[in-house]
Homo-oligomer: A and B are copies of this chain.
Amino acid sequence: MNKDHVSNIREVAALAGVSTATVSRALQQPDKVRAETRKKVFDAVEKINFSPNAHARSFRQQSNQTVILLVRDIGNPFYLEIYKGVEEAASDAGYKVLMGDARNDETRVANYIEMVRQKQADGLILMTGHFPEEQAKRLDLLPPIVLASETVPGLDLPTVKVDNKTASKDAVRYLIDAGHRRIAHLAGPLPENLAADRFEGYRQALAEAGIDYNEDLVTSGDYSIEAGRHAVLGMLSKKSAFTAIFASSDQMAIGAISELRSHGLAVPDDVSVIGFDDIIFANAIEPPLTTVRQPRREMGRQAMALMVERLNGQKTNETIELKTELVIRGSVAPCAPGRSQT
């Protein structure tokens, strides 16, 4: 046997003394073949170490049973649990999952869309806040797309998300109830929908409590640790006074805490902090982070479930809204009335 030689279905057929059609059937729908014949085929397969060529298969079926999970930034552990959920549901439905990294870069998103357009994958689960406008116009030419966590203006697609505005409002109200009035917000990349919703929740909570909105206390960032650091540094150097921070990602919260600390400010004694997501590190740091938990595994599972519906030809444009939960840990302390330190 030639070293570079790869066996194909014809060799199996020849060896088993049957037709290629029978080999194919024996492999794909074993019950459609007589037991005896099946055995002959399996023996031949075994003997020459045959495994069907996936390219040919995909080509023939015009499907490779693969779905792409495109995330904003693969460096954010937030997505890992999502991936696991997607992968579980996908695996159950006979699909594989490929994870792509948009790196906060619109042209990279466009590249992935193009991949999907060329049918490199059967579907796309999108977790970026972007979608190239040009391609958005011809959605009908694209394979199924499902949105998870994020939404895109003007893109009417099946979606799994949480009620960001309410979650955010509840978190800020918790801070207010603890006596805080000067509450900073580390927002996501405005004006994206996701960031805007959380920002809106923040503003509403303030408004309802009769607290004036102060734009110096809001910084937009890309959800990374670095963005959290940078936001705090900015506020500190502008001497903006605040006693609490509501961050729209745990990573930003963690970056913020780290930066505060390096300026001699303690959490929660000097500044209280609330994050968003409840990534695994949130509960492992000091102080354990009070944060808005998103049901990420479930979000992934549901997104893939919607995808499977789409893949099976159903055309619902359902939006599933999952519950969040404010997880109280140790990063928020009461604020004495009248206190005002940076």
Interface residues of A (CB under 8 A from B): 3, 6, 49, 51-59, 62-64, 74-75, 77, 80-81, 83-84, 87, 96, 98-99, 101, 114-115, 117-120, 138, 140-141, 225, 254-255, 257-258, 261, 280-281, 283-286
Contact = CB atoms under 8 A, between A and B. Distances in A.
B117 A96 contact: no
A99 B3 CA distance: 29
Nearest to A228: B284
A53 B119 contact: yes
A119 to B, nearest CB: 5
* Identical chains in the assembly: 2
Contacts of A141: 6, 49
Given A75-B280, A281-B281, A83 B101 contact: yes
8 contacts: A54-B119, A57-B118, A58-B59, A59-B59, A77-B77, A225-B280, A258-B284, A286-B286
A117 B64 contact: no
A68 to B, nearest CB: 9
A44 to B, nearest CB: 16
A80 B74 contact: yes
Contact of A55 (B62, B75, B80): B62
A96 B84 contact: no
